Structure 1
Amino acid sequence: MGRCSGRATLVGFCALQLVAALERQIFDFLGYQWAPILANFLHILAVILGIFGTVQYRSKHLILYAVWLILWVGWNAFVICFYLEVGHLSQDQDFLMTFNTSLHRSWWMENGPGCLVTPVTNSKLALEDHHVITVSGCLLDYQYIEVVSSAMQIFLALFGFVCACYVSKVFMEEEDSFDFIGGFDSYGYQAPQKMSHLQLQPLYTELSLG
């Protein structure tokens, strides 16, 4: 009963992780954030692997999924530090998110709740094929939206890590117990012996004459 509830809980959290990752992937595509796009893609593959491992009772798949979640937590912690400009990190370091392929940043910078975008014409700061804008009136700045999104990813990853460790432990214990009784133990298996030919002998009976 506990195993079934643990599997159901893990599948449910994997589904939430998948929805959250797809939602984040869409907005990162809109903002041309190539590094997050790559990380989201790997995360989606890992979550699918976790779902497959849970459904098919594959403890090794769950272990790989749990290891990835540790890396995923580290990546999201970096994203939080990047947008809050912790230490030497700065949002002007475009190569960290876009690999220097574009000047785009977070999609929420221009499309956040309540944001008013005003283009600045004839600006000397504008590069070729680009324009300068001013953004004002945002109810919540884009960096805080990104921080909240990453924090939610960390929460889902930590809970998924705990569930994955528990379910994989249950699977391994069941595999060990099954091996102990000879379920998968090749040494405990004995092939059926062939029946040897029976040697027929005549049967003698003695008759007593009264």
Structure 2
Amino acid sequence: MTIKDTPEEWEIRATDTPFRGAKTSVRTDEVVMPDGTAVTRDYQVHPGSVAVLALDEADRVLVLRQYRHPVRQKLWEIPAGLLDVPGENPLHAAQRELYEEAHVKAEDWRVLTDVYTTPGGCDEAVRIFLARDLSEAEGERFAVEHEEADMELERVPVQELVRGVLAGELHNNCLVVGVLSLVAARTGDGLDALRPAEAPWPARPFSS
């Protein structure tokens, strides 16, 4: 048996969108179950996101500390952002986020992993990139506002982040998945065996 996620879509008898926000919406579908009964499922419709695990020559990860109102905490995170434009190349979006949030550019880009953040209640898909060969970006720094105006930036050793994840001290989804995926890749076939940055992404198809 091959352990691999596969596409499948059950019959939808009716659908409604009771809420539309600036970036996301809430949808209610009436879905037919395998036994023939129909049930309603509410979920958030999300454009998708990208995140960047930026690794420097000293084996440190670039992390940001930012206030997240829904959980009422300041979380340590890796640079990330929405796919604002339908069909946008996720690599281009990741490069933009790294520049805007950290004023950093990278020469080596690879796909670290792809995840659904909360598939039971949201269709958000995130592609997490590994970025290496870092340097300071040219030009003016991006003007930040709102939560980002209070953002802190640090470079933290990989093993310190691993310790924090396993100790229950770090909770951001992309940071946790990214850091542990980095360690797993190193103990497997190595970082150079990761998928290329332009690898297909069925969850959010894009043009090159």
**Alignment TM-score, normalising by the size of structure 2:** 0.20
Larger Rg: 1
Structure with more contact order per residue of length (Cα contacts < 8 Å, sep ≥ 6)? 1
Relative to total residues, which structure has the larger strand share, 1 or 2? 2
Relative to total residues, which structure has the larger helix share, 1 or 2? 1
